[in-house]
Structure 1
Amino acid sequence: MTAFLRTMTFALVAALTALLLAAPASAAKIDDQFRAWLQNDLWPEATAKGISRQTFDAAFDGIKPNLKLPDLVMPGEKPKTPQKQHQAEFGSPGAYFAEKTVRAVTAGGRAREAANAKTLAAIEKRYGVPGEILLAIWGRETGFGAAKMPYNAFEVLGTKAFMSTKKDFFRTELLAALEIVQRGLAPVGAMKSSWAGALGQPQFMPTSFLKHAVDFDGDGRVDIWNSTPDVLASIANYLVHYGWVRGRGWGVEVTVPDSVSCSLEGPDQGKKISEWAGMGIKRVGGKPFPASELQAEGFLLMPAGRSGPAFIATPNFYVLKEYNTSDLYALFIGHGADRIAHGDQNFSGSWGPVGDLHRSDIAALQRALQAKGYDVGGSDGLPGFKTRRSIGKWQTKNGQAATCFPDAGLVGRLK
C-alpha cells in the first residue's frame, strides 16, 4: 500500500469513528461505538504509553459499556441540565455518625488491632501513622475487607472514560489501570473495583495505586485485595505522601465561647493552639492542651456551625481529607480512631436540628453569597467550610447571630 493510500485509509477510518461517536445513541449500537472508540481513540494513546497489544486486548476482552453506572452521557447527546431536587439532601450532619455505623468500625478495629499488633507497630515505626487511624480508614472504606468489589475495573473505567461527565479524569485512571497490568503489578482477573473504579480494600483509584501501594508482607508483589499488611501500609504511605505529621493527632473536641466567631473556621485561618486557648477555647472534659502542642498550629473546625460539636484540628485532619474531601469523613476517621484507642465515648457536643434542605437550595444560597462578593468555594450545593464561614460573615454583617450553617430561613432571605 502506498503512503497516499495509507493516509487516505486512516483518514476514512477516523472520519467513520467520528461519525459514530457524534451520532445519537439510537443511531448505532453503543457497544459498536465503544469498540470503535477503544481501537481508534484509546489504543493509540495506550500504545504510546507502553501498553502492549496483549495487555490491551486482555483488559477489554468481552467488556461492554455498563449503562447502569451513574453520571453517563449517551454518545451524541449533551449532559442533561440538573433538575431541582425534590428530596431532602441533608439531614443533620450527626446522621453521618450514627452509633451503629461508628461502632461497627470501632469494634471491628479493636478486634483487628490485637490480631495485627506486630504489623501495625512496624508500619507506625516506618511511616509514623498511628495504627488506629489505619484501622478506621480500613473499616470505613470496605468493612475491613468484607465489602465485595463486584465490578470489573476495566468495565467501569472504560465506560466512564467513554461516556461519563468526567471523561478526562476516568481516561487517566483507565490508562493507569492498564499500566498496573502491563507492569505485572496485578493480573487482569484481579482488577476488581467499586462502581467508581476504586481498587481493593483501601479503595485506591489506579493512579493512587501506582503512587502509593506498597508490598509490606515481603512476598514480592503488591496486593491490596488480599494482603492485610499491604493494605494497611499502603494507606499509611498514602497519608505520608500528603503530609502526615508524625507525633501529632488529628485534633480534639473543644468548646467555643460566643465571643469567638464561627467564621474563623478553616485550614487557611490557623493559629497557634496557645492563641486559640487564649481566646477562651477549651478542650472538653477539662483537660488542658498538651504543652507540646501549644506552639503548634491548629484550626477551628465546626462542621455544623453553632449547631454541632466544635474541634481544634491539626494539619493531619486535612491530610485525612486527601483520602476523601468531606469534613465529615475526616472527622469520622479521627473520631473512630480515638474510640478504637480509648473506648466508645461519643462527642460531648450534640448535633442540632439542622439540615433537611435540598442541595439545589444550598447551591442557590451559594450563588447569592457569591454575587455579594463572598468566597463560598463554588456553588456545588455542599456546605463546606468556605460556605459555612461566609454564612457567618453575612449574618454578622446583617446584624444576625452567626450560626455558620444554612437553614430554610436563610435560604429564603438570600435567594
Structure 2
Amino acid sequence: MTMIRRSWLSAAAVAALLLVSAPAAQAQSADVQRSFRAFLDRDIRPAARAQGVPDSVLDDALGGLTPDMSLPDLVKPGDDGAVAEFNAQAEFKSPAAYMSEKALAGTAARGRALLAEHRAVLARIEAAYGVPAPIVVAIWGRESAFGTADIRHDAFRVLATKAHLSRRKAMFREELLAALRIAAEGHLPASKMRSSWAGALGQPQFMPTKYLQLAVDFDGDGRKDIWDSVPDALASIANYLRQSGWQPGRDWGFEATIPAGLSCATEGPDVSRTIRQLVSAGAARVSGRPFPERELAGTGHVLMPAGRFGPAFVATPNFYVIKAYNNSDLYALFVGHLADRMAGAKPFRAPWQTPPGGAMTRGDVYRMQQRLVALGYDVGSVDGLAGFKTRRSIGAFEAKSGRPETCWPTPALARSLG
C-alpha cells in the first residue's frame, strides 16, 4: 500500500512539473519566434537588398519562415553551450560503421556502372580539370547516392535557423545570403531550393557560397544546374577539387603498414616527407607491391584515422584536397577507397577494430581534449572530434607516460588523464 501511494505521488509530481513547465516552454518558443523574425527583418533582408536581391525573392524565400528547432547543433535558449554528447554527422562517428564493407561494395558496383554510362562526359571532365573520373564519381555517390538521395529540407529554413541559432552563426549567415543570391540570379526558384540538414545543395551537395564560386555549366545550356544536370554536377565536383589544389597525375594514397618505429604521433598534413623517406622508415604497401616510381619523390603523409585500431595509409596531398570538400578524414578515405574499388581494388586489408573499453562519446573526447590542452598539447579545435591533431597529441602523451602509442581516445586513457 505504501509503495502504491509513493508511485501515485511520484506521478502527480511529474504531472505538476509538466503543467508548470509547459507555459514556460511555450513562452520560450514564442521568444525564439520573435527573435527569429526580427533577425530576418532587421539583419538579413537589408543585407540581401544591399547585395542586389529583390524584395520578391526575399518574400518567396523568407516570408512566413519559422525556425526548425529539430536541426542538430543548435544553441537553444537555456543551453549551457556544452558540446553535444553524440555526433549528428556520420563522418565523425565510428570508423568501422562509416567504412561498412557492405555499403562500400554496393556503392562501388553502382559507381562502376555509372562510370561506363557517363564515360564520354567523364573523359571530357578529366581532360578539363585533371581529376580522375573515379574520384569524381565517388564524391557523387557519397554526397547524394549518385543523385538519387531525397534532399527534402527547405534550404532557406535550414540556413536561416542556423544563422540565428547555431554555434557558427557568421558562417551560416554568409551561406543564407549566398542562397538568396542564387535565387535572385535565376539559377533556381526559392520555392524549389532544397538542402541537407546542413544547408548543402544539389547532387554535389555544395554549400551556397561554393555554388557561387565553383559550380560550372558543362552541358552548355546556360545554367549551372547542379540539381538536374549530371554533366554540370560532375564537372562542378571536379572544378571544386582542382581549385582546391588537386595535383593531376598523383594518387590520393595507399593502404600501408606503419611499423611501431614510425610513430603514429607523426601523422598529419603538416608533417611532410617524401614517400621514399617513409619507405626508408619502414612504411610498406599492404598489397606487397612497391609504391609507384612516379610517387617516390613526391610528398607523403602518415594517415591513421583510427589510430593503431584500424588500417593505416601513406597519403598524398590529394587526400587533403578531398578533405577540403568535407573536412573529415573518414570522408576523404571513403572517397579515395571507393574510387579504388571502382577500378578493381580489394577491400581494406587491416580490420577496423573496436578499441578496448568501447567507443567514447563526443562529450568524452571533448573533455579529454580539454585535459590535453591543459597539459600543453595542441589538439586543434576542442570540439569532441578525434582529428589528426588530437590523435597525435594522444600518441605523444602516451609515449611520454610510458604507454604504447595508440593515438586514439579510449576510456583507459581518459582515466589516466584524470
> Could you tell me the TM-score, scaled by structure 1's length?
0.88
Partner of residue 80, structure 1: 80
Aligned-partner Cα distance in 1 for 2:131–2:83: 43
CA deviation profile, 1:121-155 (whole Å, cap 9, x unmatched):
00000000111011111111111111111122112
Aligned-partner Cα distance in 2 for 1:86–1:235: 30
Aligned-residue identity in percent: 52
Aligned-partner Cα distance in 2 for 1:25–1:316: 51
Aligned-partner Cα distance in 1 for 2:36–2:413: 47
CA deviation profile, 1:337-379 (whole Å, cap 9, x unmatched):
0001125x11111122224112222222212221111111132
Structure 2 counterpart SS, 1:285: coil
Asked if the contact 1:257–1:281 (Cα under 8 Å) also holds between the matched residues in 2, the reply is yes
Residue 346 of structure 1 pairs with residue 347 of structure 2: yes
* Pairs within 5 Å for 1:329-368: 329-343=331-345, 345-354=346-355, 355-368=358-371
* Pairs within 5 Å for 1:145-184: 145-184=147-186
Could you tell me how far 1:60 is from its partner in structure 2? 2.0
* Pairs within 5 Å for 1:363-382: 363-382=366-385
Partner of residue 115, structure 1: 117
Asked if the contact 2:83–2:384 (Cα under 8 Å) also holds between the matched residues in 1, the reply is no
Residue 327 of structure 1 pairs with residue 329 of structure 2: yes
Aligned-partner Cα distance in 2 for 1:290–1:84: 44
Partner of residue 6, structure 1: none
Could you tell me how far 1:35 is from its partner in structure 2? 3.3
Aligned-partner Cα distance in 1 for 2:329–2:140: 18
Could you tell me how far 1:31 is from its partner in structure 2? 4.3
Aligned-partner Cα distance in 2 for 1:92–1:196: 20
Task: Say how many residue pairs are matched.
Answer: 389
CA gap of 1:209–1:85, structure 2 versus 1, over 3 A, is closer
CA RMSD of aligned residues (A): 2.2
Partner of residue 214, structure 2: 212
Partner of residue 11, structure 1: none
Structure 2 counterpart SS, 1:184: coil
Letter matched to residue 112 of structure 2:
R
Could you tell me how far 1:73 is from its partner in structure 2? 4.2
Aligned-partner Cα distance in 1 for 2:84–2:37: 35
CA gap of 1:386–1:162, structure 2 versus 1, over 3 A, is closer
Letter matched to residue 400 of structure 1:
R
Structure 1 counterpart SS, 2:305: coil
Letter matched to residue 80 of structure 2:
K
Could you tell me how far 1:186 is from its partner in structure 2? 1.9
Asked if the contact 2:83–2:366 (Cα under 8 Å) also holds between the matched residues in 1, the reply is no
Aligned-partner Cα distance in 1 for 2:172–2:83: 25
CA gap of 1:86–1:92, structure 2 versus 1, over 3 A, is closer
Could you tell me how far 1:278 is from its partner in structure 2? 0.8
Asked if the contact 2:75–2:81 (Cα under 8 Å) also holds between the matched residues in 1, the reply is no
Aligned-partner Cα distance in 2 for 1:27–1:303: 41
Please say which of residues 325-334 and 346-355 is displaced more in the overlay: 346-355
Partner of residue 13, structure 1: none
Unaligned runs of 5+ in 2: 1-25
Aligned-partner Cα distance in 1 for 2:67–2:153: 12
Aligned-partner Cα distance in 1 for 2:130–2:212: 21
Residue 248 of structure 1 pairs with residue 250 of structure 2: yes
Asked if the contact 1:389–1:404 (Cα under 8 Å) also holds between the matched residues in 2, the reply is yes
CA deviation profile, 1:97-123 (whole Å, cap 9, x unmatched):
111211232111011011000011000
CA gap of 1:163–1:397, structure 2 versus 1, over 3 A, is closer
Aligned-partner Cα distance in 2 for 1:306–1:174: 41
* Pairs within 5 Å for 1:269-348: 269-343=271-345, 345-348=346-349
Structure 2 counterpart SS, 1:286: coil
Letter matched to residue 379 of structure 1:
V
CA gap of 1:339–1:86, structure 2 versus 1, over 3 A, is closer
CA gap of 1:339–1:184, structure 2 versus 1, over 3 A, is same
Residue 402 of structure 1 pairs with residue 401 of structure 2: no
CA gap of 1:393–1:333, structure 2 versus 1, over 3 A, is same
> Could you tell me the TM-score, scaled by structure 2's length?
0.88
Please say which of residues 61-70 and 375-384 is displaced more in the overlay: 61-70
Could you tell me how far 1:25 is from its partner in structure 2? 4.8
Could you tell me how far 1:329 is from its partner in structure 2? 0.7
Letter matched to residue 369 of structure 1:
L
Letter matched to residue 362 of structure 1:
V
Aligned-partner Cα distance in 1 for 2:403–2:30: 59
Aligned-partner Cα distance in 2 for 1:291–1:84: 46
Partner of residue 389, structure 1: 392
Partner of residue 135, structure 2: 133
Letter matched to residue 381 of structure 2:
G
Aligned-partner Cα distance in 1 for 2:382–2:51: 37
2:237 to 235, 238, 243: 235
Structure 1 counterpart SS, 2:349: coil
Aligned-partner Cα distance in 2 for 1:196–1:71: 10
Partner of residue 142, structure 1: 144
1:49 to 51, 62, 87: 51
Could you tell me how far 1:404 is from its partner in structure 2? 1.2
CA gap of 1:187–1:286, structure 2 versus 1, over 3 A, is same
Unaligned runs of 5+ in 1: 1-23
Asked if the contact 2:255–2:311 (Cα under 8 Å) also holds between the matched residues in 1, the reply is yes
CA gap of 1:402–1:28, structure 2 versus 1, over 3 A, is closer
Aligned-partner Cα distance in 1 for 2:86–2:268: 31
Asked if the contact 1:79–1:165 (Cα under 8 Å) also holds between the matched residues in 2, the reply is no
